[in-house]
Amino acid sequence: MQELWKIVSSPKHLIAFEAAARHMSFTLAAQELNVQQPAVSASIKQLEASLGVQLFERSHKRVGLTPVGKQFYNDVSKALVELLVSTKAIYKSGHNEQVTLNASSAFNFYWMMPRLNNLSSMYPDIDLRLQSSDREPDIDVENISLAIRRGDGNWADCHSRFLAREVIYPVASPRVMAAAVNLKTVANLQHERLIHLEEPIRERPTWKDWFESFNIPNMTVSSGIRLNDYALVLQAAIAGEGFAFGWMHQTDALVEKGLLAAKKEWSWDTGLGFYLVWSKQNELSAKAKLIRDWIITFSDDYGNAIQQV
């Protein structure tokens, strides 16, 4: 690039040349660039002097490209178009007023949706886009403002803020829970109809893992239905299809409303947690920061309430 700078001396000479060659007119080029015609003429003369060739054939009433000028125009116009596309994409990203939150469908439905009225009343001008996915996307590549991730809080590409511990207990509809009269021990749960979460990409604990956390290895837990989305799992549990995992931060509210019953005394704290994350590479917009802080405030209030129970 240093060599190009020495030859061309200024990018404006290339821009003036491209506009003049495209219009075949110094005057029209000047109008497009919002400068005087002599400025365009001077830029092109300086560019020709630097290159040591004539790029335009000039006559009294018109200009045309020399063979060298035609080849140079093809190369310059292609490079400037590619630069324009890249610049516009970055500009759009930097000025995007929309805030995107990526999370599981269950988090968006059971955690975010009940709180959206509060968000709208506080920040009516923020355009929030809830994006559900069954994987952990690259938030920089996909231009995602905020995301919810399960893990230990350490990601090389992201800042993170703890939201909730990963605590899992069995849940079922009140009718199914009442009918399960043989639940004196954890091991007996294997004889009930279980709802299995089998996400295709994202790693999640299984019933086998849950039983092993209570020192009950090698359990046969094949009965029940298998679903690839946790929102569907909870809907199936509410509908009375069997016992499901209850992730505490998402199911506590459903238990309080009586939509689900829980065996909270059989809670398993996995040692992991759910975190709000955002890019280390790209600065959050002002509106994204407001959404970030709003989510953190709600999670802090929830955590304080749990501590008081």
Cα–Cα dist 197/286, whole Å? 37
The one-letter amino acid at 68:
V
Q: Is the pLDDT of residue 86 over 50?
A: yes
**pLDDT band of 257, cuts 50, 70, 90:** very high
CB 267 within 8 A of CB 169: yes
pLDDT for 259: 96
Residue 289 half-sphere exposure, CB side, CA atoms within 13 Å?
5
pLDDT at res. 93: 58
For the ranges 1-10, 127-136, 203-212, 228-237, the lowest mean pLDDT is seen at 1-10
* Predicted confidence (pLDDT) at residue 234 exceeds the cutoff of 90: yes
Tokens in use for 286? 């002002």
124 has a pLDDT exceeding 80 = yes
Given a contact cutoff of 8 angstroms between Cβ atoms, the answer to whether 24 and 34 are in contact is: no
Residue range 182-208: average pLDDT?
A: 89
133 pLDDT exceeds 90?
A: no
Q: Which of 92-101, 205-214, 220-229 has the highest mean pLDDT?
A: 205-214
Question: Which pLDDT score is estimated for 96?
Answer: 56
Computed over its alpha carbons, how large is the radius of gyration of the chain? Answer: 31
| CATH 3.40.50.1110 is the classification of domain 99-309 | no
Q: What are the backbone angles phi and psi of residue 24, rounded to the nearest 5°?
A: 55, 40
Q: Give pLDDT tens digits for 12-63.
A: 999 999 999 999 999 999 999 999 999 999 999 999 998 999 999 988 778 8
Q: Which amino acid makes up residue 248?
A: M
Distance CA 243, CA 173 (A): 8
Looking at the chain, which runs of residues are DSSP E strands? 56-58, 63-65, 98-103, 127-132, 146-151, 158-172, 195-197, 225-227, 244-247, 261-262, 268-279
| Boundaries of every domain in the chain | 2-94, 99-309
The pTM is what?
0.66
Q: Mean per-residue pLDDT for 279-294?
A: 92
CA 150 – CA 35 distance, rounded (Å):
55
Task: State residue 308's pLDDT score.
Answer: 35
Identify the CATH number of the domain defined by range 2-94: 1.10.10.10
For residue range 139-191, list pLDDT tens digits in order: 988 889 999 999 999 999 999 999 999 999 999 999 999 999 889 899 999 88
Confidence of residue 8 (pLDDT cuts 50, 70, 90): confident
Answer with the residue of higher pLDDT: 22 or 10.
Answer: 22
The full DSSP string for 165-199 is: EEEEEEEE-HHHHHH-TT-SSGGGGGGS-BEEE--
Angle between helices 11-23 and 67-94 (to 10 degrees): 110
Which range has the worst mean pLDDT, 85-89, 138-142, 246-250, 290-294?
A: 85-89
Q: What is the pLDDT of residue 136?
A: 84
| pLDDT in the model for residue 81 | 87
On average, the pLDDT of the chain sits at 88
- Looking at per-residue pLDDT, the higher value among 306 and 93 belongs to 93
pLDDT at 305 over 60: no
Mean pLDDT to the nearest integer, 122-133: 89
pLDDT at 222: 63
Burial class (CB in 10 A: 0-12, 13-18, 19+), 153: middle
